[in-house]
Amino acid sequence: MKAKHILVTVLVSAVTALSSVFLYAKLNKSNSVAQSQGQLPVNYAGLFDGGGTPGPVDFEAAANSTVAGVVHIKTKTNPTQTNNTKRRSPFGDIFGDEFFDDFFGGPQSNRPQMASGSGVFISADGYIVTNNHVVDGADEVTVTLHNKKQYKAKVIATDANTDLAVVKIEGSGFPYLLYGNSDEVKLGQWVLAVGYPLTLETTVTAGIVSAKYRFLGINQRKAGRNANVVESFIQTDAAVNQGNSGGALVNTSGQLIGINAAIASPTGTYAGYSYAIPVNIVKKVVDDLIKFGTVQRAFLGIRPEANADENTDSQIKEGDGVVVGEVMSNSAAEDAGLKKGDKIIKLDNKTVATWYELTGTVASYRPGQKINVTYLRNGKEGTAVLTLKNSSGNTEIVKTSAIDRLGADLSTLDAKKAKEYGVEGGVVVQALSDGLIAEQTTIKKGFIIVRAGGKAVKSVDDLKKAIDNAGNSIIIEGIYPGYEGVYQYAINDLRNEP
């Protein structure tokens, strides 16, 4: 009985082995026939559904064609030195006048501040794009090329809302990068980050696109609470560190698809994620800065719907489109007939799922340009053609005025407060951002301007007229409520003249 069992087992094993060989030969023949007929063999789990075994990605050509177009930017900010004058404080004998100088930011001097970042040539005649925060407040800008040649650079214009800036060096025949199309960037796509991190020479790192249309809120902190910031970052896992800011994010063809601007890190050094400004926003902003000196920002004229329990932009409903919460008067949206409750799902046939995707797309347009909007209303799809407008509700070219260059949120002093402070009127500095005041003075939030250019200032309009009638500089005078003394500050470069 035992021998019989052994014999059956042997026979079963033999039949199984012969069957396996037969089936393998048949499958192999079938695949050979399929290949000879131009068909793909069957593969488990669809590993090669794309058309064959994927080959290795080669970064060599993209890296070598890119490094010459990326530069090292070094900045120097001179010691802050103000010539503010004030009446002696009645508390000076107790605390010393230096106490109040420190509190209010009186005359002071410190060492020059040095910093560095990266930049990208965008033309053969020396125009370079970088981040605003790389050159912000710099008194000297030096550009070092990949071949170690150095040039003094001039800051042409900056935009804190997008954290972009344009600088220029004199010369011609510089190697520049070609623009790609950031709208065509795909998740999982290989990219290279090129720049000068941590004071190193030209450095190239590789990663993939891990997300698009990211909002971090970093531009809001820099540009000011009331600024119309644009953030729609490309997120990658290419290693980026301090010094990479303003450098290039390129695809494997060597095309510029973004300007590296930020990292997400609890330590200040690379921790896995980096962020780049999409090139479709970059090229429009750069063109504006070069042509007009300021960004020609286009608006749809809507505010998004927020969650019922929160009325803040950080609680915007996100998902499969942008629900219109409010249509602004005299706006492109109002002219085109958009209504509250409409859900915008496409812009120029490009799907938009979130508010930051929508604002990022609109940021690549100028006032006066037309855009097709696809929306849902009561479950039905509709389309409208909008002529985009600027923040003033028209399509005219916006020029930066001298008062805008101060970099301050200003308001007319309330009449009751003026009487309380013992002044006839004034202008309150509500908040400060990038601008001449922050760069050249030690004025603090809450300062009240009462005179400018030797004339009394009782309103924002008065201040604007005084600045418009001034030359390239002006003396402003004011007070800090609750403290004795009239403080004077000299502000230069009102006309951005050399």
pLDDT beyond 50 at 289: yes
- Per-residue confidence band for 483, with pLDDT thresholds at 50, 70 and 90: confident
Arithmetic mean of pLDDT, 155-172 = 93
302 or 25, higher pLDDT: 302
Q: Is the pLDDT of residue 168 over 80?
A: yes
Helix (H) or strand (E) holding 149: none
Mean pLDDT for the stretch of residues 135-155: 92
Alpha helices in 166-270 (DSSP H): 218-223
Instruction: Evaluate if residue 351 carries a pLDDT over 80.
Output: yes
Task: Place 423 in a pLDDT band, splitting at 50, 70 and 90.
Answer: very high
Using the predicted structure, report yes or no on whether residue 274 has a pLDDT greater than 60: yes
pLDDT at 224: 60
3-state secondary structure (DSSP) of residue 337: coil
CA-based Rg of the chain, rounded to a whole angstrom?
A: 31
More confident residue, 96 or 208: 208
Q: Retrieve residue 326's tokens.
A: 């409010």
Specify the higher pLDDT residue, 225 or 308. Answer: 225
Q: What is the pLDDT of residue 128?
A: 98
Which two three-digit tokens encode residue 364? 């690549």
Tell me the pLDDT band of 492, cut-offs 50, 70 and 90. confident
Give pLDDT, residue 92.
36
**Would residue 265 show up in a list of annotated catalytic residues for this protein?**
no
Give the pLDDT of residue 279. 97
Q: Which residues lie below 8 Å from residue 144, measured CB to CB, with a gap of 6+?
A: 71, 72, 73, 74, 150, 151
User: Of 62-71, 304-313, 360-369, which range is least confident?
Assistant: 304-313
Q: Is residue 39's pLDDT more than 50?
A: no
Annotated active-site residue in 245, 274, 331, 364: 245
Comparison of pLDDT for 150 and 113, the residue scoring more: 150
Mean pLDDT of the chain: 81
> Which tops the pLDDT comparison, 257 or 468?
257
Task: At 230, list the tokens.
Answer: 């644009």
Asked about 335 being catalytic, the answer comes back as no
Q: Where are the beta strands (DSSP E) in 300-347?
A: 302-304, 322-327, 343-347
DSSP string, 382-445: EEEEEE-B-TTSS-SPP---TTGGG-EEEEEPPHHHHHHHT-S--EEEEEE-SSHHHHH----T
260-281 average pLDDT score = 90
Alpha carbons 430 and 476: distance in angstroms, whole number: 16
- Active-site position among 163, 288, 434, 462: 163
Q: Which of 72, 116, 133, 159 is catalytic?
A: 133
Query: Does the structure show a pLDDT above 80 at 93?
Result: no
The pLDDT of residue 182: 95
Band of the pLDDT at 56, cuts 50, 70, 90?
confident
Residue 295 has pLDDT above 50, yes or no: yes
- % of the chain residues with pLDDT over 90: 52
State which of 97-111, 239-253, 447-461 shows the largest mean pLDDT.
239-253
For residues 281-287, give the mean pLDDT.
Answer: 96
Q: Which tokens sit at 188?
A: 């999982």
**471 or 69, which is more confident:** 69
Q: What is the mean pLDDT of residues 182-188?
A: 95
Extract the tokens encoding 316: 């915007």
Least reliable range by pLDDT among 28-37, 372-381, 472-481: 28-37
- Active site (annotated) includes residue 245: yes
Residue 16: pLDDT band with limits 50, 70, 90: low
Predicted TM-score (pTM) of this structure: 0.69
Return phi, psi of residue 421, to 5°. -85, -5
Q: Reply yes or no on whether the pLDDT at 101 is more than 80.
A: no
Residue 4 pLDDT = 56
306 DSSP 8-state letter: B
Annotate 170-189 with b (16+ C-beta within 10 A) or e (fewer). eeeebbbbeebebeebeeeb
pLDDT of 346 > 90? The answer is yes
**Cβ atoms of 276 and 258 closer than 8 Å:** yes
* Mean local confidence (pLDDT), 228-241: 92
Phi-psi region of 15 (alpha: psi -120 to 50; beta: other; left: phi over 0): alpha
Does residue 183 surpass a pLDDT of 50?
yes
- Structure-token pair, residue 402: 């001298």
Over 90: is that where the pLDDT of 473 sits? Answer: no
Q: Which residues contact 355 (CB under 8 A, 6 or more apart)?
A: 304, 313, 316, 318, 322
Note the pLDDT of residue 7: 53
